[in-house]
Amino acid sequence: MMQAQIESMPTIVRLADNTNNGIEAVTLSRYAIGYILRGSATIHNGDKCFRMSRGDVFYLGLGNHYIRRMSENGQSFEAVMIYYTSDDLRRALTILSTSYDLTVSNSHSCDRCRTTNFISMPAWDDLRAAFENADSILTNKQRCERGYIVENMRIFEIFSEIAAYTDCCLKSKFLGTIDMAKENFERVVVDNIFKDMSIDDLAQLCNRSLTSFKKEFRRRFGMPPHKWIIRQRMQQARLWLISTEKSISEIGYESAFTNTSHFIKLFKKEFGLTPAAFRAHHRLVSMTASDQTERETRVEEPVAV
Residues in the chain: 305
Predicted local distance difference test score (pLDDT) of residue 249: 94
* pLDDT tens-digit map of 144-189: 555 677 888 899 999 999 999 999 999 999 998 887 677 788 888 8
Of residues 244 and 4, which shows the higher confidence score? 244
Strand partners, 48: 45
Phi, psi of 52 (to 5 degrees): -120, 140
* pLDDT tens-digit map of 22-36: 788 888 989 999 999
d(CA 278, CA 207) in angstroms, rounded, equals: 40
* pLDDT tens-digit map of 84-99: 998 899 888 888 888 7
Phi, psi of 245 (to 5 degrees): -105, 15
Q: What angle do CA 192, 48, 36 make, to 5 degrees?
A: 85
Residue 291 has pLDDT above 90, yes or no: no
Predicted local distance difference test score (pLDDT) of residue 177: 84
Domains located in the chain, CATH noted = 11-176 (2.60.120.10), 180-286 (1.10.10.60)
d(CA 216, CA 174) in angstroms, rounded, equals: 20
